[in-house]
Structure 1
Amino acid sequence: MVDHRVAIDTYINTGPIANAKWRGMGQLMCHMADVLVFSDVIPDSRSVLLGNCTTPILLLMTNRIDVAVADKKNYYKFMNEVVQRPYVWFVVNNPYEAAYAGSKGVILPPERTQLLRPVGVTLLEKPPPEAAAARSKLVALIEHPGKPLLEITFIQPWLKERNLMEYVQVYGKIYGGPVVLSQHKAVISIPYQASVMKMYEGMVQGTVFAVPTPRFFKELVMDTYNGTMMEFCCRAWVKDHPEDWMEVVDWYHKDFIDGHAMFDSWDELEQLIKGEGKYTPEFLADKKATSKRLMLASRKVSLDGYRDLVEKMERQSCESLHRADMWPPPYANAWKRPERGW
């Protein structure tokens, strides 16, 4: 159905590849449902958008708007036209996605764009409760092999140097889910993305994340470590917005920041790990309750927002069926077969 002489690698996105996909299966994709949803890799929608499909379309942005796009200049120009279409809607699951798109000249339409964050649902089986007591005395740290994250490149060696490993439980990539994390007194997390599912899922369960203060984090990102030691998605944004970068990084957004246990130096992190200074059991218990309360409030906003959005898109889909200018679809002539002479 797709001309693979053009679309040799169907993941790498260019205009010709998107056009080949549209010519191969555009009508099928366009009319397979009353509403179409493209999530995560937004350029996957390029073929349907390029074909002027008028079925209501939701672009659910959980990643950069241009991920995997090879011809970015043409793509940005095209998306600038797409955002003006009244039947294309946008949801960003964190503030950075809209800000990043805007930095590329693609301004999402406020009347058809909503910030609806993840709701933190997990279907993992809950761990046995008998392990909770032992975990409650330890701080957790998660390894992510293959990424230059500060937890691996600096913090683990630092923990060993300070003889702090007895206070810490180190997990691999498979750590058991958010309930396991919530059973620890805190989880050391150095942000490497504007938002991660681990945060939303964990906060629903009352996980306390131990993260650097905005001041200390900015120092680490901009002054101390480069990308080979400390991966972070948004260095350029922090550099260009030194005073308000926290507004687009959910770890530090006002909707969530009060649920975290913050440390302003490595010495303060050591105090947190040992339960010294201000990091008392009462302090951490308050953070646990705040973490859960903030995330449940965010969940309600998202669920209410999706309910409202679905109603609007359903209404638009029904109305379009009765519009003379929307049916047959505008692209229909391009598919019209020539009449045979017999």
Structure 2
Amino acid sequence: MIYNLMLNKKYGIVLTVGLIWVLVGVFFLHNRGKNASSGIWEETIDINGVLGPKFDVTKRIAYISGHIGTTTDFKYMAQHLLLENVDYYDSRDFFDYLSSRDGYRSIVIDGTVEEICSTHDAIFISDSLADGWPFIMDGKQPCKNVVFVTTNRFDCGVHEGDREVFYQDFNYSLNRNDEYRARVIANNRFEVPYMRSKGIDVPDYHPVIRPFGYTSVQAIEIDPNDVNAACLIIGRVPQDEILMNNLVDQHTTHKCKVVPYHYGGPKTLEKYESVVVHLPYQVSIMKMWENLAYGVLMLVPSPEFFTQICTENVCQQDHDAMEPKRVIGEEHWSEYLDFYLPGWGECFIQYNSWEELDNILTSKDYLKNVNTCRNKMEDLRELNLQLWKKLLTVLH
């Protein structure tokens, strides 16, 4: 009798688990292909355990970046997908940021490129994609499975005088008709349209995989008297530290606390019962996702009010955030800034006037959304892992 009960229980568990996987698979198939205008994600995927091929964790991977944040993000993925053979290269050990064409070519000449290619199955280059130029120069691509992880304008690390040649090499690498064709992924919606505005023929499949919001920066102590600060401003750029600080002071009844450049990351910010006031200077920044992961919400002006602020004032760092206006046009430009991503309005909270901002800071109603936004980040992380798994599976 006990044996029969155990057997029935075992079959019940198996059937329940199987039903759950079927429902999950149906959900992802039903939602595949959503874009930012119709849902939160640009792409959803088949669950690997149900529909995908076996995932190879032994693939030899090289990751190249000069930015600690992007490297930390990739390490999070590698750790959670149990990848066993990942080598990390700091591109600043090879050349400076914004190097010359000859500077980038130096690691072709000294054999570094050939060595990396011959000992790895896939090469990922992130942050400044120019750091990957040596791997595609002159159409002589020695590496299979070169993947450009785009977190910034793809040409930001290239001198103006070298850009046309870089564009030619980059375009050719993405459109080869052999096994050496490179791939592109992006961490926001704007990067691929920007590439296309420069004449790059980007293939249709280019997944958008946003940051995991993980940080290794350790928290620092804060003044207990500041725990209930009306608002926080991160002193990373003058546009926030000076302009926004002054504007909030002038137009609301509140005074923000400005935290220093090295402020201890989101693990420090979460100690405050407060919110970050931010004037966007990029279409997407890694700390916006890091903040949400630790329950730190952000206040940003609506697209219209953002435009008004920077029309009435000198916004010193708004060039990149406003770049979609020049590329996409006035009507849809804000759809390409992650701060205005549909479905995230309770986490990246918009205000249309100084009066509305004042009311938000006074009521602190945003605090009720802290756990909701944390949970959304957990969902985002899971989706990101599945997208990475899908990408790694198709690299042969």
TM range (shorter): 0.7 to 0.9
Q: Deviations over 1:240-276 (max 9, x none)?
A: 5212112211111114333223221122222233x1x
Match status 1:306 vs 2:388: yes
Partner of residue 368 from structure 2, selected from 286, 306, 314:
286
Take 1:162 and 1:54, find their aligned partners in 2: how far apart are those partners?
56
Q: Deviations over 1:59-99 (max 9, x none)?
A: 11112111221211122122111111354222211112212
Partner of residue 130 from structure 2, selected from 43, 50, 62:
43
Take 1:207 and 1:83, find their aligned partners in 2: how far apart are those partners?
38
Any idea what SS the aligned residue of 1:243 has?
A: coil
Residue 98 of structure 2 contacts residue 158 of structure 2 at CA under 8 Å; is this kept in 1?
Answer: yes
Take 2:216 and 2:167, find their aligned partners in 1: how far apart are those partners?
37
Change (3 A) 1:232 1:164: farther
Partner of residue 265 from structure 2, selected from 177, 184, 188:
177
Residue 250 of structure 1 contacts residue 256 of structure 1 at CA under 8 Å; is this kept in 2?
Answer: no
Q: Which runs of 5+ in 1 are unaligned?
A: 1-8, 317-342
Any idea what SS the aligned residue of 2:263 has?
A: coil
Change (3 A) 1:198 1:82: same
- Number of residue pairs matched by the alignment: 293
The one-letter amino acid paired with 1:177 is G
Take 2:101 and 2:219, find their aligned partners in 1: how far apart are those partners?
46
2:312 maps to what in 1?
224
Partner of residue 348 from structure 2, selected from 250, 260, 263:
260
Take 2:289 and 2:120, find their aligned partners in 1: how far apart are those partners?
30
Q: Which runs of 5+ in 2 are unaligned?
A: 1-94
Match status 1:75 vs 2:169: no
1:95 maps to what in 2?
189
Take 1:142 and 1:180, find their aligned partners in 2: how far apart are those partners?
12
Q: Following TM superposition, by how much is the alpha carbon of 1:217 offset from its aligned partner in structure 2, in angstroms? A: 1.2
1:108 maps to what in 2?
202
Change (3 A) 1:116 1:236: closer
Report sequence identity in percent.
22
Q: Following TM superposition, by how much is the alpha carbon of 1:104 offset from its aligned partner in structure 2, in angstroms? A: 0.7
Please report the RMSD computed on the Cα atoms of aligned residues, expressed in angstroms: 2.8
Match status 1:235 vs 2:327: no
Any idea what SS the aligned residue of 1:47 has?
A: helix
Residue pairs, 1:135-214, within 5 angstroms: 135-144=227-236, 147-149=237-239, 151-161=240-250, 164=253, 167-182=255-270, 183-214=272-303
Partner of residue 61 from structure 1, selected from 135, 150, 158:
150
Change (3 A) 1:236 1:31: same
Take 2:147 and 2:100, find their aligned partners in 1: how far apart are those partners?
21
Take 1:179 and 1:19, find their aligned partners in 2: how far apart are those partners?
40
Residue 261 of structure 1 contacts residue 287 of structure 1 at CA under 8 Å; is this kept in 2?
Answer: no
The one-letter amino acid paired with 2:267 is V
The one-letter amino acid paired with 1:76 is Y
Residue 140 of structure 1 contacts residue 184 of structure 1 at CA under 8 Å; is this kept in 2?
Answer: no
Q: Following TM superposition, by how much is the alpha carbon of 1:160 offset from its aligned partner in structure 2, in angstroms? A: 4.4
Change (3 A) 1:17 1:208: closer
Residue 283 of structure 2 contacts residue 336 of structure 2 at CA under 8 Å; is this kept in 1?
Answer: yes
Any idea what SS the aligned residue of 1:64 has?
A: coil
Partner of residue 125 from structure 1, selected from 196, 215, 218:
218
- Please list every run of at least 4 consecutive aligned residues from structure 1 whose deviation after the TM superposition is greater than 6 angstroms: none
Any idea what SS the aligned residue of 2:136 has?
A: helix
Q: Give the TM-score, by structure 2 length.
A: 0.66
Change (3 A) 1:191 1:299: same
Q: Give the TM-score, by structure 1 length.
A: 0.76
Q: Following TM superposition, by how much is the alpha carbon of 1:185 offset from its aligned partner in structure 2, in angstroms? A: 2.3
Residue 275 of structure 2 contacts residue 296 of structure 2 at CA under 8 Å; is this kept in 1?
Answer: yes
Take 1:159 and 1:227, find their aligned partners in 2: how far apart are those partners?
15
Take 1:179 and 1:15, find their aligned partners in 2: how far apart are those partners?
40
Any idea what SS the aligned residue of 2:116 has?
A: helix
The one-letter amino acid paired with 1:98 is V
